[in-house]
């Protein structure tokens, strides 16, 4: 998919770059991002919305992969940006991302984070709870500002997804519950705050979703709520945000819909709910993360050791693992991979791909069919663009890999590989523990 292909040398090529050359130039593990594919995904969302005629914002959920170069692409493609921490906000601002297109999420924004966002004049706060409503109103007041807010509501829609990554159920740490009157009280409270301008509501029903039914149900619930608010308080919402969660294909058997189908299902549901109640059409916002960057990312590893347990299993180990991709260990996520330097060779053995961390759970892929694997081969694991670099850690003091963007035969380093110096960069030896000369 994207610009990937097997070239005449039998090597994997992405964005016109032979990955064996990338390995030589940048080392491994290496995150490779197909820039053309990222832009294509962004345009699919934008084009689908444009064809609905609805006013809209597509906010890239930067949590999926937040580095300055990615913020530049999001801006160039006309997207807004969803951030959830001072770190993501700082990254966006450093990249020069227009503050008015930044939306600030999170269920426990600290006063410092709120102040930073107020100073930057971001476009919108997505408020999660009553404590935040009061805090934001007070801090905005101190700054002499009136800020746009959406209220995150929990619609009680259970999207079909892995348990650990669903956030739309009733029993969730996020948002104001719709079912028990909490969301209505939140609207009343927000309207009573002089320094908050209530734009509307937000709902996010889960992640890696393959069907439109959950989105339709969420729209219907949110629309019914909007109508209730209008009828009881004479307030209409200018914005309804339906979050992210659009699925991608990691392995055979994953069946995401084309992006346009999600967008059209959401648009149809909004249009018919509004028409039925004579409700003015709000602006629709969504927040795709995974579906923008997920399948554009590939991680390139060097194979090192192997262990064959006759009759049981053959393990091969790569020079990364759970530190650059914790998703298999956290969510039992499945990935597909090929031998990037002998991509045309027949698949003759079944191996399981282990990482190098000191932990039995550090396995990337179970039972993968590959050509005969040798030490020094390059393994390319696909669909690692979302929640990989973003969730990478320094466990075992393993250094985080570099990230390159590839396009038209050129590779640009967008995140340098961490150095040994970086690893101890924040360490301090107290005077009394210093080694005497
Ligand atoms: N908006 C909100 C409010 C969210 O909570 C999320 C994801 C998104 C948008 C973007 O969702 P996406 O389009 O990427 O599915 N670490 C997990 C995923 C956690 C998603 C959390 N929220 C994983 O690796 O699968």
Pocket residue to mutate for ligand 1, from 63, 126, 160, 240, most atoms within 8 A of Cβ: 63
CA of residue 276 to ligand 1 center, whole Å: 31
289 is in an annotated binding site: yes
pLDDT band for 166, please (50, 70, 90 cuts): low
pLDDT band for 437, please (50, 70, 90 cuts): confident
pLDDT digits (tens, 9 = 90+) for 299-314: 999 999 999 999 999 9
Give the nearest ligand 1 atom to 247 CA: 15
CA of residue 391 to ligand 1 center, whole Å: 12
CA of residue 227 to ligand 1 center, whole Å: 28
The pLDDT score that the predictor gives to residue 157 is 84
Query: Which is catalytic among the residues 17, 274, 358, 383?
Result: 358
Give the nearest ligand 1 atom to 330 CA: 24
Residue 61 neighbours by CB under 8 Å, 6+ apart? 82, 244, 287, 288, 289, 290, 292
The values of phi and psi at residue 432, to 5°, are -70, -15
CA distance 122 to 234: 27
pLDDT band for 159, please (50, 70, 90 cuts): confident
CA distance 117 to 84: 11
The reply to whether ipTM tops 0.95 is: yes
Residue 196's closest CA among 204, 208, 184, 188?
A: 188
pLDDT digits (tens, 9 = 90+) for 193-236: 999 999 999 999 999 999 999 999 999 999 999 999 999 999 99
Give pTM, 2 decimals. Answer: 0.97
Cα torsion through 165, 169, 172, 178, rounded to 10: 140
Q: Annotated catalytic, 358?
A: yes
Give the Å distances, CA to CA, from 135 to 110, 130, 346: 9, 9, 61
The pair of structure tokens assigned to 71 is 């913020």
CATH code, 35-290: 3.20.20.10
Alpha helices in 278-332 (DSSP H): 290-293, 327-331
Give the nearest ligand 1 atom to 202 CA: 3
Residue entry with tokens 């906000």? 89
β 410-415/363-370 pair status: unpaired
Residues framing ligand 1 (Cβ under 6 A) = 61, 64, 82, 105, 165, 167, 204, 207, 243-246, 287-291, 327, 331, 386-387
Positive or negative torsion for Cα 126, 127, 132, 134: positive
Domains of the chain by residue range: 5-33+294-424, 35-290
Architecture of the 5-33+294-424 domain? Beta Barrel (2.40)
387 is in an annotated binding site: yes
């Amino acid at each position: 998919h994207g610009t990937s292909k097997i070239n005449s040398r039998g090597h994997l090529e992405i964005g016109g770059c032979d990955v064996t050359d990338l390995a030589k130039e940048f080392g491994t593990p290496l995150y490779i991002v197909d820039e053309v594919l990222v832009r294509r995904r962004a345009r699919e969302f934008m084009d689908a919305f444009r064809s609905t005629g609805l006013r809209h914002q597509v906010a890239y959920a930067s949590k999926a992969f937040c580095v300055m170069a990615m913020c530049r692409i999001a801006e160039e493609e006309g997207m807004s940006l969803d951030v959830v921490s001072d770190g993501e906000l700082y990254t966006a601002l450093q990249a020069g991302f227009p503050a008015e297109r930044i939306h600030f999420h999170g269920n426990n924004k600290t006063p410092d984070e709120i102040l930073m966002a107020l100073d930057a004049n971001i476009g919108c706060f997505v408020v999660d709870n009553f404590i935040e409503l009061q805090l934001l109103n007070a801090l905005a007041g101190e700054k002499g500002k009136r800020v746009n807010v959406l209220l995150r509501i929990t619609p009680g829609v259970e999207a079909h997804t892995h348990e650990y990554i669903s956030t739309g159920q009733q029993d969730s740490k996020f948002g104001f519950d719709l079912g028990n009157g909490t969301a209505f009280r939140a609207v009343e409270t927000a309207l009573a705050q002089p320094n908050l301008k209530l734009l509307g509501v937000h709902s996010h029903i889960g992640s890696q979703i393959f069907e439109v039914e959950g989105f339709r149900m969420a729209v219907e619930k949110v629309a019914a709520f909007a109508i209730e608010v209008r009828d009881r308080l004479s307030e209409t919402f200018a914005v309804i945000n339906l979050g992210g969660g659009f699925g991608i294909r990691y392995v055979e058997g994953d069946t995401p819909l084309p992006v346009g189908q999600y967008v059209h299902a959401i648009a149809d549901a909004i249009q018919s709910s509004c028409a039925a109640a004579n409700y003015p059409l709000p602006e629709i916002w969504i927040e795709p993360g995974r579906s923008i960057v997920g399948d554009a990312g590939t991680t390139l590893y060097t194979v090192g050791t192997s262990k064959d347990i006759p009759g049981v299993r053959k393990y091969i180990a790569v020079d990364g693992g759970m530190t650059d991709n914790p998703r298999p260990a956290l969510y039992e996520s499945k990935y597909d991979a090929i031998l990037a330097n002998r991509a045309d060779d027949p698949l003759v053995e079944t191996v399981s791909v282990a990482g190098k961390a000191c932990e039995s759970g550090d396995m990337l892929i179970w039972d993968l069919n590959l050509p005969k694997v040798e030490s020094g081969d390059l393994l390319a694991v696909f669909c690692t663009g979302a929640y990989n670099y973003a969730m990478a850690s320094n466990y075992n003091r393993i250094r985080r890999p570099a990230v390159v963007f590839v396009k038209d035969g050129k590779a640009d380093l967008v995140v340098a590989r961490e150095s040994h110096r970086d690893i101890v960069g924040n360490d301090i030896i107290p005077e009394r523990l210093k080694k005497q000369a």
